[in-house]
Amino acid sequence: MKIVMLGAPGAGKGTQAKKIADKYGIPHISTGDIFRANIKAGTELGMKAKAFMDQGQLVPDEITIGMLMDRIGEPDCEKGYVLDGFPRTIPQAESLTEALGARGEKIDYAINVDVPDENIINRMSGRRACLSCGSTYHIVYAPVRKEGICDRCGAQLVLRDDDKPETVKKRLEVYHDQTKPLIDYYGKAGALCTVDGTQSMEDVFQSIVNILGA
């Protein structure tokens, strides 16, 4: 099964993608991981991507698609995969559809984890991160034993700039402008399935399993 995860930043789609990958024995593929792997391996596409990233520019879609198609051509993707963080725009989705179509394949499920903006702002502004060991917490959902202190290494926790309400609002604006149209795109393709992302993490996952089958 070939799956695309949709949803706003902070909707929890990355967490659900990992759980899907574990349950069904298929790889969880994020563009960030693909970039890092290609750059580390020194591939031609990786070096091209690095040149753009080093200049603070976005990596062009054709390079990203090239790396993605290389990745899903690997043996561990034979039974399928979960794409997380790609596509983000309609042109990317069209390129992906075209590249898969050339191999006689298509996306089977586009799972939209639906969470209202207000919930996302509250959810993300409650996150706390340890810059020392990389642990993450949440003041409501995953609190620390001692306020403001990392359970694992004892360092001070911070609210990352990415998680500040004003930053989250801007990220949501970009999502509504560029990424939300993918919901219509995959709806027209007959692949869209929407789940209520305001439920508990386990209930969201159960809703997804009900769609994909046990």
* CA-to-CA dists, residue 17 to 29, 51, 106, 111, 128, angstroms: 9, 29, 18, 10, 22
122 vs 48: CA distance, rounded Å: 38
| Residue 36 among the catalytic residues | no
The one catalytic residue among 18, 50, 171, 180: 171
72 vs 56: CA distance, rounded Å: 27
Return left, alpha or beta for 172; rule: phi > 0 is left, psi -120 to 50 is alpha, else beta. Answer: alpha
| Residue 13 among the catalytic residues | yes
Residue linked to tokens 């439920």: 199
| Residue 103 among the catalytic residues | no
Rg (CA), the chain: 18
The one catalytic residue among 50, 160, 164, 180: 160
Residue linked to tokens 């990233």: 53
The one catalytic residue among 2, 13, 19, 71: 13
The one catalytic residue among 127, 128, 170, 188: 127
| Residue 171 among the catalytic residues | yes
| Residue 128 among the catalytic residues | no
Catalytic residues: 13, 88, 127, 160, 171
